[in-house]
């Protein structure tokens, strides 16, 4: 009887303390699965490994979604406190970005399993992803402006999380069009993806500009948030990737609508923008490495923020890989392969630390719930 009671308490705690930053695990694992489809050595073996990892990652997304929906269903008063929390609310952006890795996997791995149905599933999931990305991109910043307390010294690159989701959806739109350019609504997906790109990349660069000011005035974040510096690479890598994928798909899509001249222009401008973005990304990558090394001597405590090492670097690698492919740039391809190996090593490290932390229970902690409990006690 006591064992049954303990199990019920454990499940209750798991649901009550479950927070959306767990979706960062799906983001990081998903991008590694997508990269394994393009791995340079023993490609067939790595492709199968990537497929298994994508299937596992998809199951993980479903489990996390059920847990988080259960929190809103069983504990709605506690769950909505996240909208008032200045840090945890930012992680709502990880939900649509995690979903994007799942739908992209249908395009990379789903065809052998489901045939043409994989494209239709990916398309339906893309519409859901776009809806979630837009809602998060509006609601979270509005909550930041209206009900949360923020200061310049406390700002980190995590401010980017709710904003970047829209451009991740834009890159997924480009991927869909490259796989299925003759969809009936292909041109709508193309124009919609460019609009999503603008909704995300331009606000993200505004945040990055403020972040430079914050770093200059108040130095790099404390060691608990050291890994957040890597998040700055995310919108740059995804922005470049979206321009490359949309530009590559544009000529074939627009040819069906008597816009033949516009297609090559978008393709060439996408290449140019991606090259410029890669330059900016390399600068931020250097800053992130130096910030991490600065704190490494004292030791960087592990938290789920460590998954910020994987997804931003992963999308930057995917952008470089796509750029090398479209430009037929062999020397860049060699660099991409080296970065792929580095990413795989980082993913293994972070995964092992996450398993250990989840087993001990220390990673199941909701800061907004603790603040809410204190407020209830004070009243």
pLDDT in tens, 13-29: 778 888 999 999 999 99
Average the pLDDT over 261-268 and give the result.
94
Q: pLDDT tens digits, residue range 222-231?
A: 888 888 899 9
Give the residue with greater pLDDT, 362 vs 143.
143
CB 18, CB 67: distance < 8 Å: yes
375, pLDDT greater than 80: no
Euclidean distance between CA atoms 72 and 75, whole angstroms: 5
CB 346, CB 310: distance < 8 Å: yes
CB 225, CB 303: distance < 8 Å: no
Lowest mean pLDDT among 109-113, 282-286, 299-303: 299-303
290, pLDDT greater than 50: yes
Euclidean distance between CA atoms 8 and 347, whole angstroms: 32
What's the pLDDT at 37? 87
Q: How far is CA 302 from CA 85, 139, 305, 342, 352, in A?
A: 21, 29, 8, 19, 11
Please provide the average confidence, as pLDDT, over all residues in the chain: 90
Neighbours of 77 (CB within 10 A): 8
Q: Mapping DSSP to helix (H, G, I), strand (E, B) and coil, where does residue 361 land?
A: coil
What's the pLDDT at 72? 94
5, pLDDT greater than 50: no
Q: pLDDT tens digits, residue range 95-144?
A: 999 999 999 999 999 988 898 999 999 999 999 999 999 999 999 999 99
What's the pLDDT at 12? 74
| Among 150, 170, 168, CA closest to 159 | 150
Confidence of residue 245 (pLDDT cuts 50, 70, 90): very high
Q: How many residues does the chain have?
A: 379
Tokens for 144? 């930041």
Euclidean distance between CA atoms 300 and 139, whole angstroms: 32
Lowest mean pLDDT among 41-45, 48-52, 315-319: 41-45
148, pLDDT greater than 50: yes
CATH of span 15-358: 1.50.10.150
Burial 195-230 (b: 16+ CB within 10 A, else e): ebbebbbebbeebbeebeebbeeeebbebebbbbbb
Euclidean distance between CA atoms 75 and 190, whole angstroms: 40
The structure tokens 């590694």 sit at 32
Neighbours of 185 (CB within 10 A): 9
| Among 119, 267, 241, CA closest to 182 | 119
Tokens for 316? 């930057």
Gyration radius from the chain CA atoms:
21
Euclidean distance between CA atoms 17 and 31, whole angstroms: 26
% of the chain residues with pLDDT over 70: 91
Q: How far is CA 355 from CA 9, 61, 192, 362, in A?
A: 21, 16, 39, 11
Give the residue with greater pLDDT, 44 vs 63.
63
What's the pLDDT at 379? 57
238, pLDDT greater than 90: yes
Domain boundaries, the chain: 15-358
Q: pLDDT tens digits, residue range 24-45?
A: 999 999 999 999 988 766 567 8
What's the pLDDT at 338? 92
Q: End-to-end alpha-carbon separation of the chain, Å?
A: 35
What's the pLDDT at 100? 97
365, pLDDT greater than 70: no
Cβ contacts of 323 within 8 Å, gap of 6 or more: 240, 244, 271, 274, 275, 278, 329, 332
Tokens for 250? 């544009």
What's the pLDDT at 364? 66
Q: pLDDT tens digits, residue range 167-213?
A: 999 999 999 999 999 999 999 999 999 999 999 999 999 999 999 99
Q: pLDDT tens digits, residue range 271-280?
A: 999 999 999 9
Give the residue with greater pLDDT, 334 vs 297.
334
| Among 57, 34, 54, CA closest to 175 | 34
CB 104, CB 322: distance < 8 Å: no
CA 277 to chain centre: 18
Give the residue with greater pLDDT, 378 vs 301.
301
Q: Mapping DSSP to helix (H, G, I), strand (E, B) and coil, where does residue 183 land?
A: coil
Q: What angle do CA 321, 322, 324 make, to 5 degrees?
A: 65
Helix 161-179 to helix 117-146 angle (10° resolution) is: 160
What's the pLDDT at 39? 76
Task: Report long-range pairs for 215-221 (Cβ below 8 Å, ≥24 apart).
Answer: 215/287, 217/152, 217/153, 218/152, 218/153, 220/291, 220/294, 220/295, 221/156, 221/291
């Amino acid at each position: 009887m006591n064992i049954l009671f303990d199990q019920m308490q454990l499940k209750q705690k798991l649901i009550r303390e479950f927070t959306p930053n767990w979706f960062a695990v799906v983001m990081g694992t998903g991008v590694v699965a997508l990269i394994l489809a393009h791995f340079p050595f023993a490609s067939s073996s790595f492709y199968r490994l990537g497929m298994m990892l994508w299937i596992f990652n998809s199951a993980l997304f479903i489990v996390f979604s059920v847990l988080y929906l259960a929190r809103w269903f069983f504990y709605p008063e506690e769950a909505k406190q996240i909208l008032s929390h200045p840090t945890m609310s930012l992680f709502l952006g990880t939900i649509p970005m995690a979903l994007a890795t799942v739908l992209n996997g249908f395009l990379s791995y789903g065809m052998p399993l489901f045939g043409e149905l994989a494209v239709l599933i990916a398309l339906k999931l893309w519409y859901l992803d776009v809806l979630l990305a837009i809602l998060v991109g509006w609601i979270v910043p509005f909550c930041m402006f209206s009900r949360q307390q923020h200061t310049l010294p406390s700002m980190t690159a995590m401010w980017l999380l709710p904003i970047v989701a829209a451009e991740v959806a834009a890159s997924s739109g480009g991927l869909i069009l490259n796989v299925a350019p003759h969809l009936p609504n292909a041109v709508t997906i193309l124009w919609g993806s460019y609009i999503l790109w603008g909704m995300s990349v331009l606000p993200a660069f505004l945040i990055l500009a403020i972040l430079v000011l914050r770093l200059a005035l108040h130095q790099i974040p404390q060691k608990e948030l050291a890994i957040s510096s890597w998040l700055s690479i995310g919108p740059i890598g995804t922005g470049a990737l979206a321009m490359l994928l949309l530009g590559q798909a544009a000529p074939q899509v627009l040819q069906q609508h008597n816009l033949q001249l516009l297609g090559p222009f978008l393709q060439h401008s996408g290449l140019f923008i991606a090259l410029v973005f890669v330059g900016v990304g390399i600068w931020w990558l250097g800053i992130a490495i130096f910030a991490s090394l600065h704190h490494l001597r004292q030791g960087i405590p592990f938290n789920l923020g460590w998954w910020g090492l994987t997804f931003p670097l992963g999308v930057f690698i995917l952008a470089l890989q796509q750029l090398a492919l479209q430009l037929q740039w062999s020397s860049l391809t060699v660099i991409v392969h080296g970065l792929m190996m580095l990413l795989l090593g980082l993913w293994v490290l972070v995964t092992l630390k996450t398993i250990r932390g989840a087993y001990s229970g220390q990673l199941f902690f909701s800061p907004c719930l603790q603040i809410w409990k204190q407020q209830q006690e004070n009243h």
